[in-house]
Structure 1
Amino acid sequence: MTRTYAAVSNKGGAGKTTLVTLLAGEYALRGERVLLIDADNRQNLSGWWKRCAEKNNVPNHIEVTVASTQRSIEQAIDNPGRSFDLIIIDAPGVDSSLQTTIIRSAELVISPIQPAIKELEAAGQAVAAVNEINDQYGLAIGHFNVRTRISVPGRNLEAYRYIRPFVAGLVAAEYRTRLLDTELFERNIYREIQNGLGTLQMQALTDPVRKARIEVQALVEEIERYRASNSIEGAP
């Protein structure tokens, strides 16, 4: 059965597209057929795909389609989506009328959080949207928070230190969400692959790429562990 995940944040530039391409590359490497849906009108995801094609770097087991309306999103999921193991939707970077459709279509919503107050606010809005849709439609969509663009100096920022208690407060308020342990650090390779280099997993295994690969592998394993055990809520 096809799984559907969505990367959602109500803030542009949160790192959704980077997160989507990193996850897609890892799942594809594991033999899964992955469909990426670009639902963001900035089309960063489809732009990356076009640059990959121009440079002969189209990754195996991954396809990308653009869907900017409720109907086109539903069609992408219901028709060709059935031939894929995993669908990942790159949602608009601002709150839009498509958000309800995207969240309702997913079994898991993942929100990137950078160490900044506006990033926390955007993640909190995504959590609230997921839980509201769960209540309204009787669903059990999960929500994960992933810390992204982390640096060693950045860990000293007040906003970074506030991420864990912020998510803990959401859990205490009975929101269905979890803060993942795996962090995505600020890495040049994550920016470079957006220039049409394919996926992270296609890059020569230099030391920086090796460290990034370990990071992304850990993230995917953590996502699947909690998803398989239906352990969405928990002490973050």
Structure 2
Amino acid sequence: MPRTYAAVSNKGGAGKTTLVTLIAGEYALRGERVLLVDADNRQNLSGWWRLCAEKANVPDNIELTQASTQRSIEQAIDNLGKAFDLVVIDAPGIDSSLQTAIIRSAELVISPIQPAIKELEAAGQAVAAVNEINDRYGLSITHFNVRTRISVPGRNLEAYRYIRPFVAGLVAAEYRTGLLDTELFERNIYREIQNGLGTLQMQDLTDPVRKARLEVHQLVDEIEQRRAAAELEGAA
């Protein structure tokens, strides 16, 4: 069976789709077969994929399917997913029964956080949802938060400075979550690839792309290292 990851936030525009396309491209570059599941009714992921096809930029090792019901989510993972190493689900940006089904099907949930109070609230809601599902079904789904759309001036914002203690407070309250050290900066290339340019890893290695590639490479390395550590901790 493939590994199943889900990008979840209870706020629209949090950066879930960008996060999904960035990490999918990195996993594909590493030789993994990746199935993307667009379960968000805004269909931003499908829109990116359609533009990629129109511009002959469909990435290797990646395929996409849509899922709008619990049954279609299960079918995507159980049937289509068999041909892949990794399934990555772009979840709807609202709390719903579909979101519950997505979280329950995943072994890892990642929530993007921008430096804003509403983003923190949405991330907290995602943490609570994952932990409630863990408790209800006796699961051990891991949850990580990743800081996105960060700028150098933005690091001086109060909301940015509050992210780390906010997550630390959740951990202290025995929620199964954590904050990744790697941050995704506000980069033009991240927006540009949404216009059908394929994945970040397909772009010419200009200096901005090189910096972005290093950032995403580090993010995926950290995701896998922290996921493995969480699994060992859960098995202890």
Residue equivalent to 1:48: 48
Residue equivalent to 1:62: 62
Structure 1 unaligned spans of 5+? none
**Cα distance change of structure 1 residues 163 and 231 upon mapping to structure 2, 3 Å threshold:** farther
Shift of 1:232: 9.2
1:4 and 1:107 in contact (8 A); partners too:
yes
Query: 1:129, 1:22 → 2: CA distance?
Result: 24
* RMSD, aligned CA: 1.0
How does 1:119-198 map onto structure 2 within 5 Å? 119-198=119-198
Partner SS state of residue 183, structure 1: coil
Structure 2 unaligned spans of 5+? none
1:33 and 1:86 in contact (8 A); partners too:
yes
Residue equivalent to 1:214: 214
Question: What's the TM-score, normalizing by structure 2?
Answer: 0.97
Shift of 1:230: 2.1
Query: 2:113, 2:46 → 1: CA distance?
Result: 22
Question: What's the TM-score, normalizing by structure 1?
Answer: 0.97
1:30-76 CA-partner distances (Å, limit 9, x unpaired): 00000000000000000000000000000000000000111111111
- Would you tell me which structure has more strand in proportion to its own residues? 1
Partner SS state of residue 229, structure 1: helix
Q: Does 1:105 align with 2:118?
A: no
Give the aligned residue type for 2:133: I
1:109 and 1:144 in contact (8 A); partners too:
yes
1:160-214 CA-partner distances (Å, limit 9, x unpaired): 0000000000000000000000000000000000000000000000000000000
Residue equivalent to 2:9: 9
Give the aligned residue type for 1:229: A
Query: 2:189, 2:228 → 1: CA distance?
Result: 30
Report the number of matched residues.
233
